Amino acid sequence: MVSSVRTTLPGRLVASCFVLLFGCSLALAAPATPGPAVPAPVVADGFTFVKSVGGISEYQLTSNGLTILLAPDHSAPVVTFQVTYRVGSRNEVTGTTGATHILEHMMFKGSEGYNDAKGNSVKQYLERVGGQYNASTSVDRTNYFATVGRDSLEGYIAIEADRMRRLLLRESDRQAEMTVVRNEYERGKNDPDNLLLEAVTAAAYVALPYHHPTIGWLSDIEHVPIERLRGFYDTFYWPNNATVTVVGDFDVAATLQLIRKYYGVYPHSPAPIPELYTEEPAQVGPRRVTIEMPGELGTVVIAHKVPIGIDADQPALEMLDAILSSGKSARLYRALVDQGLALAAASGTDLHRDLSLHTLYAQLAPGATHAQVEKSLLAELDKIRADGVTNEEIERVKQQYLAADAYRRDGTAAVASELNEWIAIGDWTLYVRFPEAVEHVTAADVQRVARKYFDENQSTTGWYVPVASGAEHGP
Amino acid sequence: MNRLILMLALSLSAFCASADMVEHAQRERVAGIDVVTYHTEVKDVVVVVGALPAGDAFAGTGNAAVPTLTSMMLDRGTRNLDQFAIARQLESVGAEISFGAGPQSLEVRAKFLKKDLPLVIGLIADELRTPAFSAAEFNKAKQQFIGAVESSLQNTGARAQEAFSRAVFAPGDPNRPHTLEEFIAAAKVATLDEVKAFHAQNYGPAHFTLVVVGDVSMDTARTEIAKAFAGWTGGHDYLTSAPGAAPAGPNEIKIPLADKTSVSVLLGQATGLRHKDPDSLALQVGTAILGRGFTGRLMATVRDKEGLTYDIGAGIVDDTLVGGAWQLSASFAPSLLSKGVAASRRELQAWWQNGVTDKELSQRKRGIIGGYEVGLSTTGGLATTILSNLQRGYDLNWLDAYPKAVDALTVSQVNAAIKAHLDPSKMVLVEAGSLSAAK
């Protein structure tokens, strides 16, 4: 389904508790280690070769600053093409919350060259050629992508490039799409855990725009004028604010020329892309929120703000999360699930371009109380702060991480998706360098970051408290 | 773990798209198990998917929760290793094994690096053959099962699907689920003896299919599977007959749930068609024209033009082993429910009455065939497709034959299948959510 906003809880990430849904990242001082097959840069007219890391090459379209990442792989005759715009809900303000996401929807309403009336819209083209396509919006980025047979690549590049600057953005389309987005919003509100995470996030961030959900506040969704959307589009949808990623079965030189042919028609943005200068003020005490709605089982979430996604402490936090929640050997499983306090428990970090958010999550087992579960979650953090972790635990989760890293790269779309999240956070090379950094994490590193970031005074705790279902007897 | 080996996994995709996919596959009976291997170019990664007939339908007239509870006991220790020893072995190499019970199948999935094939196959065999069935773990499993089902009680989608399936599948049909309340009540009184008996009666190699895809050969897989499963006996076939159509009931079912901002809607009927039946492919492709993707008629009109919903589509479900059901699914805000349902019915009626056009069929066929190729480009996607094909009764040649069969369909075949197997006037409408606010 086209479009998705990121509202998730770590507890949902049963299979991959390391890189929480949206990836993760860090900027490390250590130089990148090239992968085993570093391709020689292709000399292509109009492009500047920037670097190659781990078999992925970065180029820049010299005329307008478009960044291009190329990861050729010829083991299957398919290719994933993706464009990531470095704009997300962090770029919104009151009155335009949700605008990034609405704009993402509007990107499927047609551009001057490709639209339903002409019979060649992005939907019509991709479904005719059997492409798997989608788009998504998060706090830090918006991406559009499709996986197609190699022979269908040029057609998709042409459409994607056209809608970068020639989107129709009609008021009639906004009106129809507003109710679609409203329904998406309403679907999300059916789930108490989503509501709880939104409430915890809103309490944890006071000044940073991560305070509001990516899908926006309902009143903004309903009322944002088309002119504001146009302004948003004209501010952020430029080649110098975008990264194109191509993964799979393609010819490097030929594809660069296609990118130049279709994206080279645009200039650099007329004004600099606005930078966010807001900083989160210091938190001066624990915060608590409670959600009450009909349901059966409660939930506890404990959040702490942690450094920016590219911070060098993130690999240690990643290992801490794995020790707490990856598999049956994990501490939260043993302390909560195995003891009958929780049905599921997890720990993870939602990595952001600005301050990230670490969350502990537990869904209460029947008969367990919120207070019991909260106490147990905090006790596990305290044990790490006080006593650290064992070398055996570190080695176990490193092996899990490295194997999961291989699994995550099964398929061109998976590679593009992973790169997308690193691009959003600010450094795509961490796609390669983060796993390398994980290999160097020590038990002392994990204890150090636990002590540094998990102070109760810096916490935001949320409870979802189920209440008896009210009278609802149908129409 | 050698970093270099893992970086080689960047050499990613699984599928060699040629007209001879079947040439990459091998199929043999090993230790009584139907084993398929498919060698791909992906480096180092192996995926295993498997299924045997031990799902919910095999509870029969016994305790409804027992099949799932049995599946939940598999990874809680064996007679040889406790659950934490198993976890340590798997986690130390980053391997993953999971089990789950569906309507008819007990399913196993595993993902691991090539070097760990002996370990993973050995553990799968140990867990399937000799679960420890500890009383303490059984009580935990019951509690978790009850909690998970209770969580679904307020889920509009789960409640709508439960009601729909119970309305269109007759009592005794393997596709007819128990109610969530029945599952909870059954789990509360389930005993460990019932679970042990279910395991003894239903688990075995007789109709167990195991598909191994990735950087692996049949020679290697055969050796490990033969060793791990030697001497295992038992098992039985799937349920392949159903009692026929459900007795006529109300054609509208409303499930009121308080404080929900979105209503889940299902509209459809049983078809009596299995996936492999002659008209099935034509009906699938016709249904895709109505309800798949953004160019499907439902999305193009009810969402794109009228803005009534975020998500609407149509498809065929539960047709692997017995006749399945056709269903249109959507969600609407309570305030748009009547409008949304009316628009859905309008599109359904027009599609059913007038059929699809040559142009629509031509474009959809091309899209399905292209999408098939893309869908098989991951190890997991390929493994899942092979297992589904075999469960549906196809042989390995279907991997290559499927796109050709799609391409050969004519518009008259598609429209005849729609008319022959569907009738909008007989469809059941289910709405789950805050209906008192509905307009």
pLDDT tens digits, residue range B269-305?
999 999 999 999 999 999 999 999 999 999 999 999 9
Ramachandran angles phi, psi of A468, nearest 5°: -60, 140
Nearest beta carbon to residue B45 from set A397, A407, A473: A407
> Smallest Cα–Cα separation from B156: which of B432, B436, B431?
B432
B426 domain-assigned: yes
In a domain, B242, yes or no: no
Same domain (yes/no): B205, B286: no
Report yes or no on A275 lying in a domain: no
CA dist A360 and A298 (Å) reads 14
| Contact by Cβ (8 Å): B38, B382 | yes
DSSP symbols for B382-408: HHHHHHHHHHTT--TTHHHHHHHHHHH
CB A452 within 8 A of CB B232: no
Could you tell me if residue B236 is inside a domain?
Answer: no
Are A169 and A137 members of one domain? Answer: yes
**Residue at A443 is within a domain:** yes
Residue A225 lies in a domain: yes
Q: Which of B275, B281, B292 is nearest to B367 (CA)?
A: B292
- Which pLDDT does position A295 carry in this prediction? 87
Residue B240 lies in a domain: no
Q: Are residues B167 and B259 in the same domain?
A: no
Sequence-separated (6 or more) residues with CB below 8 Å from residue A341: A335, A362, A364, A365, A368, A372, A373, A376
Residue B199 shares a structural domain with residue B342: no
Please state the ipTM of this predicted complex.
Answer: 0.85
Cα A148 → chain centroid: 23
Number of structural domains (chain A) is: 2
Mean pLDDT by 10 residues, chain B (439 residues): 32 44 93 96 88 96 97 97 95 94 96 96 98 96 94 93 97 95 97 98 98 95 98 96 85 93 96 96 98 95 93 97 97 95 98 97 94 88 96 96 96 98 97 86
**Which CA distances in Å does A261 have to A223, A257, A325?**
38, 6, 48
Positive/negative CA dihedral, A144, A149, A152, A157: positive
pLDDT of the residue at A38: 54
Q: What is the pTM of this model?
A: 0.89
B414 and B355 together in one domain:
yes
For residue A409, is it within any domain?
Answer: yes
Quote the domain boundaries for residue B364.
252-437
Residue A343: CB atoms within 10 A of its CB come to 24
Q: What φ, ψ does residue B198 adopt, rounded to 5°?
A: -65, -40
| pLDDT tens, chain A, 475 aa long | 344 443 333 322 222 222 232 233 233 333 333 344 556 678 789 999 999 999 999 999 999 999 999 999 887 889 999 999 999 999 999 999 999 999 999 999 999 999 999 999 999 999 999 999 999 999 999 999 999 999 999 999 999 999 999 999 999 999 989 999 999 998 888 889 999 999 999 999 999 999 999 999 999 999 999 999 999 999 999 999 999 999 999 999 999 999 999 999 999 999 999 999 999 999 999 999 999 998 889 999 999 999 999 999 999 999 999 999 999 999 999 999 999 999 999 999 999 999 999 999 999 999 999 999 999 999 999 999 999 999 999 999 999 998 888 887 788 999 999 999 999 999 999 999 999 999 999 999 999 999 999 999 999 999 999 998 765 644 3
Does B196 lie in the same domain as B79? yes
Is B280 found in the same domain as B191? Answer: no
**What is residue B42's predicted lDDT score, i.e. its pLDDT?**
74
Domain for residue A393, yes or no?
yes
What is the structure's pLDDT at A202?
97
Q: Is A138 part of a structural domain of the chain?
A: yes
Query: Which of A129, A340, A406 is facing B367, going by the closest CB pair?
Result: A129
Residue B262 lies inside a defined structural domain of this protein: yes
Which residues, including other chains, have CB under 8 Å from residue B259's CB and lie 6 or more apart?
A: A293, A294, A469, A470, A472, B434
Q: Strand A56-61 and strand A242-248: pairing? A: unpaired
Task: Let me know whether B63 and B181 are in one domain.
Answer: yes
A427 belongs to a structural domain: yes
- Residue B173, token pair as written in the block: 């049909």
Query: How many domains does the structure of chain B reveal?
Result: 2
Amino acid type, A12: R
- Classified as helix, coil or strand, B257 is coil
Same-domain check for residues A381 and A303: yes
Domain containing residue B105: CATH number: 3.30.830.10
Q: Which residue has the tokens 């002659």?
A: B278
Verify that B111 and B161 share a domain, yes or no. Answer: yes
Q: Which of B293, B407, B357, B307 shows the shortest CA–CA distance to A124?
A: B293
DSSP string, A236-258: H-SGGGEEEEEEES--HHHHHHH
Residue A190 belongs to what domain range? Answer: 35-263
Pair B124, B35 in one domain:
yes
Q: Are residues B225 and B260 both part of a single domain?
A: no
Tell me: do A292 and A254 sit in the same domain: no
**Contact check, Cβ <8 Å, B261/A186:** yes
Query: What confidence score (pLDDT) does residue A470 get?
Result: 65
Same structural domain, A201 and A293: no
Domain boundary among A202, A229, A263: A263
The residues, any chain, with a CB within 8 Å of residue B237's CB and separated by 6 or more, are B53, B206, B207
pLDDT of res. A468: 83
For chain A, positions 331-390, list CB contacts with chain B under 8 A. Answer: 337-338, 340, 343, 363, 365-367
B392 domain residue, yes or no: yes
pLDDT value, residue B19: 52
Sign of CA dihedral B200, B206, B207, B208: positive
- Are B259 and A294 an interchain contact pair (Cβ–Cβ within 8 Å)? yes
Q: Regarding beta strands B428-433 and B252-256, do their DSSP bridges make them parallel or antiparallel, or are they unpaired?
A: parallel
- The answer to whether residues B262 and B219 belong to one domain is no
Of A36, A182, A294, the CB nearest to B4: A36
Let me know if residue B247 belongs to a domain. Answer: no
| CA distances, A125 to each of A24, A195, A383, B289, B336 (Å) | 33, 37, 56, 15, 31
Contacts of A78 in chain B (CB under 8 A): 13, 15, 17, 373-374, 377
CATH assignment at residue A172 = 3.30.830.10
Q: Which of B21, B96, B119, B294 to mutate to test the interface with A (most CBs of A within 10 A)?
A: B294
User: Do B204 and B334 reside in the same domain of the chain?
Assistant: no
pLDDT at A1: 37
Contact B333 A182 (CB under 8 A): yes
Please check whether residue A221 lies inside any domain of the structure.
yes
Residues A129 and A256 in one domain: yes
Residue at B104 is within a domain: yes
